[in-house]
Amino acid sequence: MKVVVCVKQVPDTKGGVKFNPDGTLDRAAMLTIMNPDDKAGLEAALRLKDQYGAEVTVVTMGLPKAEEVLREAMAMGADKGILVTDRVLGGADTWATSQTLAGAIRNLDYDLIITGRQAIDGDTAQVGPQISEHLGIPVISYAQKIQIEGDSVVVERQYDDRYHVLKAKMPCLITALAELNEPRYMTPGGIFDAYKAEITTWGRADLKDVEDSNLGLKGSPTQIARASDKVRKGKGEKVALDPSESVEYIMNKLKEKHVI
């Protein structure tokens, strides 16, 4: 069994978000982490490795510095790391990113592709499903539990107040939620091995069946006008009132804030 996991190096928002003067994220000035949903996806793949001896290949697209996130994945137990990096791929939105990753994955044998649901810096949840679309394979998103049954996967897909149980024949793509599992720690020896291992680096020329017009900034239909830090919510206000009084109270508050 072969599993490909897509991971993204994202800013660690715990260390504070920093911006360039033009409003874009100053990624170089921020500490980085492996995107939490992706890490859960990697853990799911590593459990398949523990259980079925699956081979786990981790793919990331980003600056050369994104190699770190591949080393981390390998220190956790992934077998191979592939870094897709090229100047012409810069400035990609979800469309161009999914085209790039699909172009890279076309070079690989796989039974299962796992991506995180969404990255904490973009919050779009589009890249995973788009990759499946480009590759022409089924997708099951928002996985909270994954099981293998013969040549199929059975996945619990999280929903607002319930979950759906879906079965899909492999090859297919699953997008993972951080709640899927508790990712393992790297091991100290794994870290040193990961730095000894070779990372495969691919550029534009290595991407299979992708048009230039679908790559990088030029291939991105979405343009980011401005990025901003999350607006932190205040503590709110708690009041204990009778239902009749509380309706009036809330209405007055909404009027006060010009919501209604």
Partner 1 sequence: MDFTLSKEHEMARTLFREFAEKEVKPLAIEVDETEEFPKATVEKMTKAGFMGIPIPKEYGGQGCDVLTYAMCVEELAKVCGTTAVIVSAHTSLCCDPILTYGTEEQKQKYLPDLASGKKIGAFGLTEPGAGTDAQGQQTKAVLEGDEWVLNGSKIFITNGKEADVYVIFAITGMIEKRGRMTKEISAFIVEKGTPGFSFGTKEKKMGIRGSSTYELIFTDCRIPKDNMLGQQGKGFGIAMHTLDGGRIGIAAQALGIGEGALDRTIAYVQERKQFGRAIGAFQNTQFQLADMATKAQAAQFMVYKAACTKDQYTKDHKTSYNVEAAMAKLYAAEMAMEVTTKAVQLHGGYGYTREYEVERMMRDAKITEIYEGTSEVQRMVISANLLK
Residues at the contact surface with partner 1, assessed by CB under 8 A:
68, 71-72, 75, 184-192, 195
Least distance in Å: CB of 177 to partner 1? 20
Least distance in Å: CB of 212 to partner 1? 34
- Strand ranges for the chain from DSSP E: 2-6, 9-11, 32-34, 55-61, 80-84, 112-116, 139-149, 152-158, 163-169, 172-176, 200-202
Least distance in Å: CB of 115 to partner 1? 23
Residue closer to partner 1 by CB (options 74, 173) is 74
Helix, strand, or coil (residue 218): coil
**Nearest to 38, CA basis, from 227, 172, 177, 212:** 177
Residue closer to partner 1 by CB (options 73, 139) is 73
Least distance in Å: CB of 11 to partner 1? 15
Give residue 203's identity as a one-letter amino acid code. G
165 forms beta bridges with: 156
Residue closer to partner 1 by CB (options 85, 115) is 85
In the Cβ-directed half-sphere of 59, how many Cα atoms lie within 13 Å? Answer: 26
Residue closer to partner 1 by CB (options 68, 86) is 68
